[in-house]
Amino acid sequence: MWKKFNQLLARFKQEKYIYVAHEITRNNRVFQVRMMRETDVKDVLSVERDVYFGDVPWTRSAFLLELTNPLRNLYLVVAEEDKIIAFAGCRIRQKDCHITNIAVLSSHQNLGIGTYLLAEIKKFAESSYAQKLSLEVRMSNKNAQRLYRRFGFESEKVLKGYYTEVKDDGLSMVYQLEG
């Protein structure tokens, strides 16, 4: 059994997802989209501070662990003129593509960047043969919930006391992929 597990693990380690950096245009502004690098983490934490009013739900070491994780994951950044203004991340767990985080600077929200990042994660999930996307969101974060619902996510269940650092409940949401 261990032999089969190690063979499966080796397969996932070998199958590195290739993401081609590119530009997108929103409201006549040009943004670069690429995979997150370890050197981006400091700027990603700045985006977190902006979005979460000074808090950093994920630490530097948490991001670094994800970036070096041998299992399938995807972490993207969006930059404007070399300044990171958004990021998103996910990992594959069996047939579930779990979105670990997504954030867009408050000054750049409502430009469609969050929706674009969700679409990129969906492509990654489909290429990884996932059957659903899942995430948790703060009950107090109504803007994010609206974004997820517009994308097609549905509420699954309320997670009482899920966000202990801010004393907020969480909302588990899912998006069923076709096929």
Say how far apart CA 171 and CA 173 lie, in whole Å: 6
Question: The dihedral of CA 5, 7, 12, 13: what is its sign?
Answer: positive
Q: Active-site residue numbers?
A: 136, 148
Residue 93 resides in a domain: yes
108: containing domain: 20-132
Q: How many C-beta atoms lie closer than 10 Å to residue 167's C-beta?
A: 7
Total domains in the fold of the chain: 1
Please indicate, yes or no, if residue 103 is contained in any of the structural domains. yes
| pLDDT tens across the length of the chain (179 residues) | 666 665 555 555 546 788 999 999 999 999 999 999 999 999 999 999 999 887 778 999 999 999 998 889 999 999 999 999 999 999 999 899 999 999 999 999 999 999 999 999 999 999 999 999 999 999 999 999 999 999 999 999 999 988 877 788 999 999 999 86
Give 90's strand partners.
Answer: 74, 99
Question: Does a structural domain hold residue 50?
Answer: yes
Q: Is residue 44 within 8 Å of residue 87, measured between CB atoms?
A: yes
Overall pTM surpassing 0.85 (yes/no): yes
What CATH number has the domain bearing residue 89?
Answer: 3.40.630.30
Asked if residue 109 belongs to a domain, the reply is yes
Whether 10 is in a domain gets the answer: no
